[in-house]
């Protein structure tokens, strides 16, 4: 997810965040205004998720590419996005190259890599070369541990194994040592009326999972139809639904899914709003006045050009949900409204909301906001805001600033024209240009299980203590498409994204990062090897005994920083100041090659996740498996049977497959210097972290 504002334009462009699916609802005054991707203004196009943009792409509107904002590198591939088959084919590489293809004697393709455990148990499908990723990929994972039994875990992801995306679901009953795949029954839901009893769905994704305190697990899933972007069917209906696994540890789900917000049938793309980026939290605190209440938050892109954050909640275990409640209320922090209407206040451009709950039942929602006033022509920072509800999501406080932050740089400026137009990414250093998947900074918040007044929010920033003017990384404004630009992006030792932490000790009234400069703020990523290397896409949680854990992609190992490869790491602290760090992945993961793009690799999901009990359970999308193809010279007639091939992409990368992996890791703590340290396991407490 990626990108941001452009000061040079009154209707500034702001950064893309979040992969998500679309919820098409009726919206306030714009309920009868036709609304699809082509009707979004420039700001909205910059902050919607790529999944929404792809789902409602140019073929559905007859307009120019969603990705280009003026560039014309679109092809005739899936969803109107460009595709480029591999350059050449060859041996799949023996047993290691086919580890995710041939099932084991147990009947699944577990394909564990050391202590890294594969979550999705399917064997890789053999997809046509012009549809790489479809029928194969798994990304955007979520994971949650049962507060009653840490051996029970559920997970979810965007799963493409049935062709298009769907809401993948998985469960483990042995602490993550092994996993089973389940199927969330999302082929259809109840229709809007007795005359239309069913609505069938083409695709889904953007999932999150959580548990209540009664042994039930839940999966939030967005379902949508793509309209004429992918087929002759103009239907662009979409919705958010919740599935519940009732008392069986995630082994199966209720059917049909329950709507979390009003479903609007949209057979011709005429709805007045586009809904995006839903995430879920559950109050899993047995003594909370709102015990087991389910919360869902999301962004609504309205026809008037605004993007407000909303919330709904359920008190009956996901059977029904409340009317929606505005989260992003008015604030003087939002002084730049871009000349757009302000029907719900001046904070009219936000996205990527993250709900989380304290043991006292207080609900917090953090999100990225782009309404802050920029102070100069080269200043390109934005802000994380947070709102608090003390009445179970019925009302919210005015937003407070968690921290300013600097988003990742424009992809085409540094990786070459057409690399990923209109998106930000994480460019590797030097001449290599294979790291083109869209990416952005987003908040992940948690409440200390031992002190509900302590709230921590982790987020990314390209300008920070280790990456600023003193070592050659200087903000220079915005590219033509609205994404931030900097000096030193491709220079080793200069720019490097970091994970920062802002902390409140007064229940969210103020934060250590409120009004602060990211150049001075607390770093989560403190190991020496991280000083001049990129870390991005974080999630955070607390262990039961109060240690903060944060996981993220990490380029400090080997030649990751110059090849575009990545590892996965976990940092931890018992004082919110000094962090230890451990490497989670057993080897580096190459830059992704699946899905759209002139050389593929533009879509790697939009976030990772983390949950914890006594141990932490990080989860991520992994690219170490090779992508397999039908050899183009095989299966041409009698006596020439089909053969398996690996492939090399047009950028020289070996074609790879995106799979979901996790690990069970002791949370490291530091002896005051941030270096890697072994965990000192503490005695279990009776209480659990409040957000998984």
Give the DSSP H or E segment for 351: strand 350-357
Q: Are 74 and 82 in contact (CB under 8 A)?
A: yes
**Annotated domain spans of the chain:** 22-662
What phi and psi values does residue 411 have, to the nearest 5 degrees? Answer: -70, -50
Q: How far from 149 is each of 101, 356, 547, 612, 666, CA to CA, in Å?
A: 33, 21, 19, 11, 17
447 exposure class (CB count in 10 Å sphere: 0-12, 13-18, 19+): buried
Q: For 286-290, 312-316, 480-484, which range has the lowest pLDDT when averaged over its residues?
A: 480-484
Instruction: State the residue for tokens 């082929």.
Output: 187
Contact 285, 357 (CB under 8 A): yes
pLDDT class of 106 with cuts at 50, 70, 90: confident
What string of DSSP letters covers 380-402?
-EEEEEEEEESSSSS--PPPEEE
Tell me whether the omega of the peptide bond preceding residue 257 falls within 30 degrees of 0, making it cis. no
pLDDT digits (tens, 9 = 90+) for 376-398: 789 899 999 999 999 999 999 99
Task: Report whether pLDDT(688) > 80.
Answer: no
Give the model's confidence band at 72: pLDDT under 50 very low, under 70 low, under 90 confident, else very high. Answer: very low
pLDDT of residue 17: 30
pLDDT exceeds 70 at position 267:
yes
Is 22-662 a CATH 3.30.565.10 domain? Answer: no
Instruction: Indicate the average pLDDT of the chain.
Output: 87
| Confidence at residue 51, expressed as pLDDT on a 0 to 100 scale | 60
Q: Answer for the pair 545, 573: CB distance below 8 angstroms, yes or no.
A: no
Looking at the predicted structure, is the pLDDT value of residue 673 above 80? no
Percent residues over pLDDT 70 in the chain = 85
The tens digit of pLDDT for each residue in 500-510 reads 999 999 999 99
Instruction: Mark residue 637 as left, alpha or beta (left: phi above 0; alpha: psi -120 to 50; beta: remaining).
Output: left
pLDDT at 340: 94
- Cα–Cα distances (Å) from 307 to 35, 281, 559, in that order, read 14, 21, 40
Per-residue pLDDT, 143: 98
Asked if residue 592 lies in contact with residue 124, where contact means CB atoms within 8 angstroms, the answer is no
Q: Which residues of 651-665 are buried (b: 16+ CB within 10 A; e: fewer)?
A: bebbbbbbbbbbbbb
Mean pLDDT of 573-581: 97
Q: Is the pLDDT of residue 691 over 70?
A: no
Residue with the bigger pLDDT between 74 and 241: it is 241
What is the average per-residue pLDDT within 542-558? 98
- Please give the Cα distance from 139 to 603 (Å, whole number): 9
3-state secondary structure of 42: helix
pLDDT, residue 64, reads: 32
What pLDDT digit, counting tens, does each position of 459-499 carry? 999 999 999 999 999 999 999 888 999 999 999 999 999 99
391 contacts: CB under 8 Å, gap ≥ 6: none
Contact 351, 18 (CB under 8 A): yes
In the chain, what percentage of residues exceed pLDDT 90?
73
pLDDT-derived band of residue 311, with 50, 70 and 90 as boundaries?
Answer: very high
Phi, psi torsion values for 5, nearest 5 degrees: -65, 160
Residue 175's Cβ-count burial label (10 Å; 0-12, 13-18, 19+) is middle
Distance CA 131, CA 77 (A): 8
What pLDDT, in 10s, does the model give residues 410-438?
999 999 999 998 889 999 999 999 999 99
Structure tokens at 413: 């400026």
Kindly state the average pLDDT of the residues 262-268.
Answer: 71
CB 307 within 8 A of CB 44: yes
SS (H, E, C) 633-690: CCCCECCECCCEEEEECCCCCECEEEEEEECCECCCECCCCCCCCCCCCCCCCCCCCC
Q: Do the beta carbons of residue 499 and residue 521 sit within 8 Å?
A: no
pLDDT tens digits along 162-196: 999 999 999 999 999 999 999 899 999 998 888 88
- pLDDT value, residue 11: 32
Question: What residues contact 232, with CB distance under 8 A and at least 6 apart?
Answer: none
Instruction: Specify whether the backbone of 70 is left (phi greater than 0), alpha (psi in -120 to 50) or beta.
Output: left
Q: Which residues contact 376 (CB under 8 A, 6 or more apart)?
A: none
Q: Give the chain's end-to-end CA distance (angstroms, integer).
A: 21
Tokens at 238, concatenated = 């979409």
Between 402-406, 478-482, 666-670, the lowest mean confidence (pLDDT) is in 478-482
Q: What is the pLDDT of residue 163?
A: 93
Would you place residue 677 in the very low, low, confident or very high pLDDT band (cuts 50, 70, 90)? very low
Q: Is-contact 125 132, C-beta < 8 A?
A: no
- Residue 192 has a pLDDT of 83
Average pLDDT over residues 540-568: 98
Mean pLDDT for the stretch of residues 110-119: 95
Q: Is the pTM of this model over 0.95?
A: no
Give pLDDT, residue 97: 85
The Cα 103–Cα 80 span in angstroms is 34
Burial 531-549 (b: 16+ CB within 10 A, else e): bbbbbbbbbbbbbbbbbbb
pLDDT value of position 20: 31
pLDDT score for 33: 52
pLDDT, tens digit, 9 for 90 and up, residues 601-633? 999 999 999 999 999 999 999 999 999 999 999
Among candidate residues 383, 382, 411, 522, the one with its CA nearest the CA of residue 464:
522
Mean pLDDT over 84-92 rounds to 93
Chain segment 362-371, per-residue pLDDT in tens: 999 999 999 9
Dump pLDDT digits (tens) for 322-353. 999 999 999 999 999 999 999 999 999 999 99
Q: Where are the beta strands (DSSP E) in 125-237?
A: 138-146, 149-159, 166-172, 180-183, 188-193, 196-200, 203-211, 217-224
Q: Is the pLDDT of residue 456 over 50?
A: yes
- State the DSSP H helix or E strand holding residue 413, giving kind and residue range, or none if neither: helix 411-415
pLDDT at 43: 66
Residues 6+ apart with CB under 8 A from 171: 152, 153, 154, 155, 179, 180, 182, 217, 245, 249, 250, 251
pLDDT of residue 269: 65
| Least confidently predicted of 284-298, 299-313, 568-582 | 299-313
pLDDT surpasses 90 at 135: yes
Residue 537 token pair: 């896409």
Give residue 34's pLDDT: 53
């Amino acid at each position: 997810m990626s990108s941001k504002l452009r000061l040079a334009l009154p209707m500034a462009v702001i950064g893309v965040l979040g992969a998500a699916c679309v919820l098409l609802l009726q919206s306030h005054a714009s309920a009868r205004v036709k609304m699809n991707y082509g009707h979004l203004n420039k700001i909205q196009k910059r902050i919607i998720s790529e999944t929404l943009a792809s789902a409602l792409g140019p073929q559905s509107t007859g307009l120019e590419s969603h990705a280009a904002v003026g560039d014309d590198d679109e092809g005739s591939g899936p969803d109107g996005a460009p595709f480029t088959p591999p350059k050449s084919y060859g041996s799949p590489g023996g047993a290691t190259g086919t580890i995710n293809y041939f099932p084991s004697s147990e009947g699944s393709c577990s394909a564990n890599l050391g202590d890294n455990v594969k979550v999705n148990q399917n064997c890789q499908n053999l997809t046509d070369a012009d549809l790489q990723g479809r029928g194969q990929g798994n990304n955007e994972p979520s994971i949650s541990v049962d507060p009653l039994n840490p051996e029970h875990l559920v997970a979810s992801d965007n799963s493409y194994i049935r062709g298009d995306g769907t809401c993948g679901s998985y469960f483990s009953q042995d602490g993550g040592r092994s996993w089973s795949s389940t199927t969330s029954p999302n082929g259809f839901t109840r229709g809007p009326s007795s005359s239309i009893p069913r609505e069938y769905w083409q695709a889904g994704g953007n999932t999150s999972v959580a548990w209540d305190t009664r042994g039930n697990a839940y999966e939030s899933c967005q379902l949508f139809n793509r309209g004429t972007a992918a087929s002759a069917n103009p239907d662009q209906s979409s919705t958010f639904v919740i599935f519940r696994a009732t008392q069986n540890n995630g082994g199966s789900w209720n059917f049909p899914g329950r709507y979390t917000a009003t479903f609007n049938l949209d057979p011709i793309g005429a709805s007045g709003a586009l809904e995006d980026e839903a995430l879920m939290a559950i109050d899993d605190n047995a003594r909370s006045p709102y015990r087991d209440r389910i919360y869902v938050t999301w962004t609504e892109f309205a026809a008037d050009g605004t993007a407000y954050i909303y919330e709904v909640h359920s008190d009956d275990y996901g059977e029904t949900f409340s009317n929606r409640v505005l989260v992003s209320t008015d604030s003087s922090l939002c002084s730049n409204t871009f000349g757009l209407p302000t029907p719900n206040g001046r904070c009219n451009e936000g996205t990527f909301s993250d709900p989380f709950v304290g043991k006292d039942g207080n609900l917090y929602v953090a999100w990225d906001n782009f309404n802050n006033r920029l102070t100069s022509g080269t200043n390109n920072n934005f802000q994380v805001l947070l709102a608090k509800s003390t009445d179970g999501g019925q009302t919210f406080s005015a937003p407070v600033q968690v921290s300013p932050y600097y988003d990742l740089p424009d992809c085409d400026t540094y990786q070459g024209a057409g690399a990923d137009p209109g998106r930000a990414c994480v460019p590797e250093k030097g001449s290599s240009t294979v790291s083109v998947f869209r990416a952005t900074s987003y908040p992940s918040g948690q409440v200390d299980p031992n002190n509900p007044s302590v709230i921590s929010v982790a987020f990314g920033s390209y300008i920070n203590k280790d990456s600023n003017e003193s070592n050659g990384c200087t903000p220079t404004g915005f590219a033509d498409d609205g994404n931030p630009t900097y000096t030193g992006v491709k220079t080793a030792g200069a720019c490097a994204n970091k994970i920062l932490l802002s902390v409140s000790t007064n229940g969210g009234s103020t934060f250590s990062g409120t009004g602060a400069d990211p150049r001075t703020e607390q770093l989560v990523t403190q190991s020496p090897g991280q000083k001049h290397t990129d870390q991005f896409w974080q999630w955070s949680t607390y262990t039961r005994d109060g240690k903060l854990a944060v996981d993220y992609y990490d380029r400090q190992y080997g030649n990751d920083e110059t090849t575009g490869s990545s590892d996965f790491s976990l940092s931890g602290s018992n004082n919110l100041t000094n962090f230890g760090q451990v490497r989670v992945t057993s080897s580096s993961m190459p830059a992704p090659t699946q899905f759209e793009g002139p050389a593929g690799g533009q879509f790697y999901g939009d976030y990772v996740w983390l949950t914890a009990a006594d141990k932490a359970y990080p989860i991520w999308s992994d690219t170490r498996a090779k992508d397999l193809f039908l050899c183009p010279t095989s299966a041409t007639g009698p006596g020439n049977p089909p053969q398996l091939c690996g492939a090399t992409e047009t950028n020289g990368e070996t074609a790879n497959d995106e799979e979901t992996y996790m690990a069970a890791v002791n949370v490291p703590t530091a002896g005051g210097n941030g270096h890697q340290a072994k965990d000192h396991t503490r005695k279990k407490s009776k209480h659990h972290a409040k957000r998984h």
